[in-house]
Amino acid sequence: MNPGYLALAVAGGLFFAAARADEKPDAAVQKELARLEGVWTVSEARHAGAVVEQDEPQEFEFKGGKLITRKATRAPIVMALRLDLSTDPKLMDWTTDPKGKFEDADKYAEGIYKLDGDTLTVCYNVRDNRFAKGNRPTEFKSTESSDALLIVFKRAKK
């Protein structure tokens, strides 16, 4: 996997917001977004079971229902988020669509996440350096025979 793609995948991926850009998040989603607020760094990343090395340090910031990824060598990428707390595991989608719409399959990713204190774990399926649509992971596992991109984030110390 291309290390630069990790930023989008994590952002991806890491990505979390309202159900739709034109809807207000409900109270439970607002509370979850508040829990995600802050700056996160990648602790570990695996794709198809193999360790993904970062080509340079990057930050992932959750702020105001958006995910912002930053690398020193490029402009920040801002993504809208969508959470579904009604499932186990919880669902997390993100989009690079400037209007925050989840309609163009090439501009959004479907994943799962879990938040445990200052550790955030996300998982998305990636094939041929593209997010696999309609193939959301069901577990937090990346094996050699899978397309799973598993990322573990740690909350940055203030």
- Place 15 in a pLDDT band, splitting at 50, 70 and 90: very low
Q: Is the pLDDT of residue 142 over 80?
A: yes
Return the SS3 of 128.
coil
Strands (E), the chain: 38-47, 50-51, 58-63, 66-71, 74-84, 90-95, 108-116, 119-127, 130-131, 148-155
Amino acid identity of 96? Answer: T
Mean pLDDT, residues 36-48 taken together: 95
- Report how many domains make up the chain: 1
Residue span of the structural domain in which 82 resides = 3-155
d(CA 80, CA 148): 22
Q: Which pLDDT tens digit goes with each residue over 77-118? A: 999 999 999 999 999 998 888 788 887 767 778 899 999 999
Q: Is the pLDDT of residue 23 over 80?
A: no
Mean pLDDT lowest among 13-17, 34-38, 142-146: 13-17
Which stretches of the chain are DSSP H helices?
3-13, 27-36
CATH code for the domain of 136 = 2.40.128.280
